[in-house]
Every structure is written in C-alpha cells, then in structure tokens.
Amino acid sequence: MSQYLPNLRRLDLSHSRKLEKIIDFGEFPNLEKLKLEGCIKLVELDPSIGLLSKLVYLNLNDCKNLASIPNNIFGLRSLEDLNMYGCSKVFKNLMHLKKPGISSKKKKNKKKHDIRESASHSSFPTPKTNTYLLPFSHSLYCLRNVDISFCRLNKVPDSIECLHWLEGLNLRRNNFVTLPCLRKLSKLEYLNLEHCRLLESLPQLPSPPTSGRDQRENNNTFIGLNDVFIGRNITGLVIFNCPKLADSERERCSSMTFSWMIQFIQANTQSYPTYFDKIQIVTPGSEIPSWINNQIMGDSIPIDFSPAMHDNTIGFVCSAVFSVAPVSTGWIKIMNIDLDIPVTVNRDLVTNKSSHIWIIYLPRGSYDKFENICCDVVGGEGLGMEVKSCGYRWVCKQDLQEFNITMMNHEKSLAPKCKIIGNS
C-alpha cells in the first residue's frame, strides 16, 4: 500500500538485498537524496524517478543486476552526484535496446502516464557500433560528481564536455581506448583512470579550478562524509595500471599531471586556508621529478622540519616511486601516519609489473601534527610491492612565483629560490 510522503528528503535503502523495484517515486516528490548502494537484486528504476525534480544525490553503487534505467533520469536538473559504479549491465543492455511499447499497466493518473510514456519513447537509442554510451546532456548542468567505474564502457561520449560544473570524474576499469576532449571541464579537480587497460592516450586537461566546492557544500550540507563517492575524498589525478600507454605517452602523462598539480596549487593558495586538505597524483614513471629537491634511493628519508616554522612556507610535497607486481596490495606510511595510495591493487586487476610515481601535496596546516617525526615510506612487505625512491620538498611563496610548465619536465631541475628550502 503506497503512502504519500511530501516531507521525505532522504531515502537510504542501501544493501536491501531483496529489493527488486521501487514502484512509484511520485509518492515522495521532494526527495533530495536517494541511496540504493548494494541493492544487488534491483533490476530497474521506474520512469517515475523523473518526477524527482529536487533530487541532488543518486547512489547506485554496486547495483550489479540493474539492467535498465529510464532516459529521463538524465533530465534531472538538480542532480549533482551520480554514482553508477559497477552497473555494467545497464550499459551492456543498451546494445540490445529496441523501442519498447508503452507499459500496459494501469496508470494511477494522467501525470504518471505521461511520465512513463515520455520515458518509454525517449529511451536510449540502439548504438550503431559496439559501444556502450551514456547520454550526457545540457539538462545535467548541476552535475558535480560522476562515478561510472567498472562499467565496461567502450566509449565516453563527446557530450561529457557539456558538464561544465563537473568536479569529480571516476572512470576506473573501463574499456575505452581514447577519451574525448576535457578542456571545457573547467571545474574538474579529480580524475581517476586507474585500470583502464586499453587506454592509449590522455586528452588535454583543463586548467585547474580556482575554487570548486564552496557553493556545493553550502547547498548540500545534508551529504555526509560517508556518502562521498569512492575516491572523492581526495583532489588530484590518478593514471595507474594503463599498460597500453606508449613510452612517449607516459612521459607526456607525467609532464601534464605534474603541471596540473602545480597550477592547482598556484590557483588555490591565494586565500588561506584552502578548501582542500591534500592533492595527490599517481602517474606512470620511474623517477621523482627533479624539482622535488630532497631525494634518496630506498624507502625512507629523514625530514628537516625547521622550514615549517617560517611564515613564507605554504606547503609540503612528498613523493615516492613504487612498483607493483600482480600479487601486490599496498600502502605507504608517511611520518608514522598511514596514507593510502589512491589506487586499488590486487591480482585480478594488475597483470603486469609496472612503475609509478606518487606525489602528495599538503598545504600549510595539514602537516602540523607531523612535526619532529621522521618520514618512513614503506611498501607492503612480501606482497610484490617495492618503493624504489622517495623525496620531499618544502614549498614557499617565492616558489609559486617561479613555477611554470617547463619546471614540470622532470628531466630539468629548478634552482631553489627560497633560502629556507632544505639541502638538496
């Protein structure tokens, strides 16, 4: 028996293992947050979801048997966070869709009938090629975070460029070879491409945003930390375990990601405190960039904390080169604090030995609790993971005035401009 609930704002049905379908979303028209994570028997979303004009957050994480979604879900103009992690059946079925007939079920009222009829006739078109597509549109102008990882996507449509407010894009473990241009995504501050094993090239990245989350946080204070999508608790770029990238393309990836990181620091340290607590990047490579001027071979390095006391010190950069083998799982321990490398490593995903660079930037204030503690970088012992080298650098105000794209080429070195920086 249905019940009209106009005051319902949040609905959390996570891990409802017997839930197969929600019949009528029209019973709670003011819903802002819908969480269906882990509903493994959920097979479809009713077209009445198009009535949820105030829906901001939709989490379908690990709804692995979800086979269809109505097209009008991509017309939800208030939607900011969309998580479809592991919903590969949805995209697989797009290949076989034909125009369905209008539902023969009796409609409760004309409005619901119109919703269903519209959704039915505007369903996804059958792709002309062997690709799985996601129909982004200008209707989704509020969309801030998209997680479509582990969906076996063969292609990301060019229309992703229309998501001008997009801040986080998680594309882990998909099957595309190339990506469309991302230059218009001027708010993008997180991109995850780990385990994209067929990826051959990286598109040009947009300039880092000067600010991104302030407006979102003010508008959506009801979204708690536990609701942040996988990996969205960090800012940065992750390019990990992409074996199809040629050597020349790997060099380009490294240069591009280093440049993006420094530009992000430059753009977001004009006001203090900054809205992010750290920036991380992971990129293919075997050498720590030379501008990180304190380096050592091996898995540990002592840190001189005296520069942290100076007013013109604005941040701290720590880096490590690590290799992983097919049987590895791993973590890196810094300053006696466990910080996870933002990648997923297990024998099912990593099939070749590879070397990567990990860099983390902590703005002033984030490292106060680490004072007088040595830096110890270690890999998972006996797990096929090896930390080959590590290093650090204190960043001061003068450095930001000197940093430029050429500095990001890790075959060139940057002469220290700040007297407080530790010895090379």
pLDDT in tens, 35-46: 999 999 999 999
Determine the distance from the C-alpha atom of residue 48 to the mean position of all C-alpha atoms in its chain, rounded to a whole number.
29
Q: Which residues contact 268 (CB under 8 A, 6 or more apart)?
A: 208, 209, 210, 211, 274, 275, 276
**Nearest by Cα to 123 from 141, 112, 135:** 135
Compute the distance between CA of residue 72 and CA of residue 80 in angstroms, rounded to an integer: 15
Q: Which residues contact 116 (CB under 8 A, 6 or more apart)?
A: 47, 48, 102, 103, 107
pTM, two decimal places: 0.81
Question: What pLDDT is attached to residue 178?
Answer: 93
- DSSP annotation of 154 reads S
* Partners of 52 in the β-ladder: none
Question: What pLDDT is attached to residue 227?
Answer: 47
Question: What pLDDT is attached to residue 34?
Answer: 96
Please give the backbone phi and psi of residue 24, each rounded to the nearest 5 degrees, phi first: -140, 100
Compute the distance between CA of residue 281 and CA of residue 258 in angstroms, rounded to an integer: 8
Residue 290's SS3 state is: coil
**What are the residue ranges in the chain where pLDDT is below 70?**
1-2, 94-139, 210-233, 270-275, 326-341, 346-347, 367-384, 401-424
Compute the distance between CA of residue 176 and CA of residue 106 in angstroms, rounded to an integer: 42
**Nearest by Cα to 154 from 96, 91, 68:** 91
* Partners of 80 in the β-ladder: none
Judge residue 267's burial from the number of C-beta atoms within 10 Å of its C-beta, 0-12 exposed, 13-18 middle, 19 or more buried: middle
CA angle 69, 74, 76 (to 5 degrees): 115
